Amino acid sequence: MPQPVPRRPVSLSDRPQPSTTTSVPHGGAIRALLVLGTRPEAIKLAPVVREMAASARFQPLVVTTGQHREMLQQMLGMLGVGVRTDLAVMRERQLLSELTARLVDGLGSVIRAERPDLVVVQGDTTTALCGALAAFYERVPVAHVEAGLRTGVPDNPFPEELNRRLIGPVARWHFAPTPRAAAHLRAEGVAGEQVLITGNTVVDNLLWVLAEGTGKDAFRTDRRRVLVTLHRRENQGERMRSMGAALRRLADRGDVEIVLPLHRSPAVRDALLPELADCPGATVVDPLGYLDFAATLAGCDLVLTDSGGVQEEAPSLGKPVLVLRTTTERPEAVEAGAARLVGTDPGTILAEAVRLLDDQDAYRRMARVANPFGDGHAAGRIVARLAADLSGPGTPAGIHGSGVSADLSGPAGRGAADPAGHGAFVPGPGAAPGDGRPLDDSAATPAPVRDERSGPYDPRP
């Protein structure tokens, strides 16, 4: 009887690496389809949309899926982002598998109708994953904004950790917010020329919103203010009820005002409202519009959150952060000293909050840390890189050509897009701002800097 031919394990580094240099065959403006479905995606892609809209080289086309429908529409209006197509795929109590099927089908139809030159997705939502998959199936290259974040635990956060890992193999461009994120991508086999360290676009948007000055901080008080945001699936249930009890005890000090913009999820409301709805030291409100949230964040003293985006925004304004999670894909703030990962135990949460409120030296040490997440020019770097790669002469692969190969059984080693074996462009120990040095300094030359915003972000103060 014939024996099956043994096959060796396949790793991400085995896949042929697509070229990032791709000409737009029809000439004219580059048609970029930006896919978003949640409030955080709107916040983080708005700077990219604005940057593209200001350039004659791009035609940005925004498609929304409506994952966070009410909050999303409010957000897009505030940020001046026009929507080309709204899929409206959400159904009451639908399963993630059902949502995924609807999204891939709906986004595939939009891509076929619009025929974009690239698809841009952000972060780790189900919308982002399905946007990347639909683009791959239609042989359209994918740009992944906020690429390379990892906790190392596939189901924490759920489903975001697996979502972002699955986007990686089909993305053509990986816009990493930090050197650590870029290093994760390189370790997974992504060619260096496909990665650009940009900083995080959330900083761009936060600074833009505060400069506009139209948000309102309606919670001014003589007491110190603690801004709290909670919503993650892994924290819901009894764990979140215990957190609510800890917040109640903190508010009962009498010198603290808890400000809690309450997520619309019934699971979140059922867990937190019994403890805080009638608490004199807590102000529980419906979700704030982003302009008002930014103003409230700027006016608070301390932040307690399980949100990823807030972990990035608060250090930009010098606000100490206690992260109410057991893992974080944004360890840069923890390592820099701007945030502390305190877990979900109510006693620990209360003790850490009290320590920062009572120990001014500890508070100042956290408040004065340089922001590790960006300088406000991430979107400019992203758009400059895409313009350079898509406007110039190059290998026409992926727009109407070969795309990303689905055959992972080829020879290991250097991919076609990585002939020199260069690593991801990460600022090295001696690098000046804008100097893109590969992860493997023995292999290499700096990345070309195309304009003052296109070089890699250097997070060092």
| Catalytic residue IDs | 124, 146, 160, 231, 233, 263
Return the structure tokens found at 397: 């692969």
Q: How far is CA 405 from CA 108, 190, 390, 410, in A?
A: 19, 14, 19, 10
In whole angstroms, what is the distance from residue 230 CA to residue 244 CA? 10
Concatenated DSSP letters of 73-113: HHHHHHHT---SEE-----TT--HHHHHHHHHHHHHHHHHH
Residue type, 347: G
Per residue in 61-95, is it b (16+ CB within 10 Å) or e — as a string? bbbbbbbbbebbbbbbebbebeeebbbebeeeeee
Alpha helices in 80-228 (DSSP H): 96-114, 126-137, 160-167, 179-187, 201-212
Residue type, 32: A
In whole angstroms, what is the distance from residue 279 CA to residue 322 CA? 22
Q: In this structure, are residues 455 and 425 in contact, taking their beta carbons and an 8 Å threshold?
A: no
Interhelix angle 346-358/238-251, rounded to 10 degrees, is: 30
Give the Cα-Cα-Cα angle 236, 237, 239 (nearest 5 degrees): 80
Residue type, 84: R
